[in-house]
Amino acid sequence: MPKLLVFNNLSVDGRFVDQNGTMNWAKENNDEEFNAFGSENAKGGGTLVFGRVTYELMASFWPTQQARDSLPIVAERMNNGPKIVFSRTLEKASWNNTRLIQGDMVAEIRKMKQEPGDGMVILGSGSVVAQLAREGLVDEYQIVLNPVALGGGRTMFDGLKERLRLKLAKSRVFRSGKVFLSYQPIA
């Protein structure tokens, strides 16, 4: 059964996007060690899952020459790997290898988790994370805690109505001050 992971950068004040809805701050303080971790993590395979806003942000960056020059392994994975975007407003998804789903996201993810295949990874997409967390469909939350406080923006759990209990499964500290944390839900 494929697992559903969340992978997000967070600020120390718990935000995954700043007041302008951007994630540019997450690229600050990257060093060789962290970039190698990102490249290795990108080789994990599976289907990338996005909401519309994150999809549009990612589709505007990863196909660029700047992305291919700065993080070639990650860019290759992002551009060529299978992707799903959940949106009720998009009419088409033109980024390579992307499928647009306009229907019931929860039902679709439940169905995908029952089919054979690789896992799925949600990037960004706070409203998607909150909705799927609320339904108990997320198997692991991978967070990169960044040494920056944004003072505003959104959390990846906006809209979560009940407490979500988690246990720490893995952690790693990078020289840059970033910290990787992997949490699993407690049933």
- Quick: pLDDT tens for 110-150: 999 999 988 999 988 888 999 999 999 999 999 999 999 99
pTM of the model: 0.91
pLDDT for 75 beyond 80: yes
pLDDT digits (tens, 9 = 90+) for 43-60: 777 899 999 999 998 999
Q: What local confidence, expressed as pLDDT, does residue 106 receive?
A: 96
Which stretch of 23-27, 36-40, 128-132 has the lowest confidence by average pLDDT? 36-40
Residue 21 in tokens: 């809805």
Q: What local confidence, expressed as pLDDT, does residue 117 receive?
A: 85
Helix (H) / strand (E) element for 86: namely strand 83-86
Sequential DSSP letters for 97-143: TEEEE-S-HHHHHHHHHHSSS--EEEES-HHHHHHHHHTT---EEEE
* Domain 4-177 superfamily per CATH: Dihydrofolate Reductase, subunit A (3.40.430.10)
pLDDT for 161 beyond 90: no
Q: What local confidence, expressed as pLDDT, does residue 165 receive?
A: 95
Give the residue-averaged pLDDT of 97-101: 96
Q: What local confidence, expressed as pLDDT, does residue 24 receive?
A: 85
- State the Cα–Cα distance between residues 131 and 8, nearest whole angstrom: 16
Q: Which of 53, 84, 77, 48 is nearest to 63 (CA)?
A: 77
Confidence of residue 40 (pLDDT cuts 50, 70, 90): confident
Q: What local confidence, expressed as pLDDT, does residue 27 receive?
A: 83
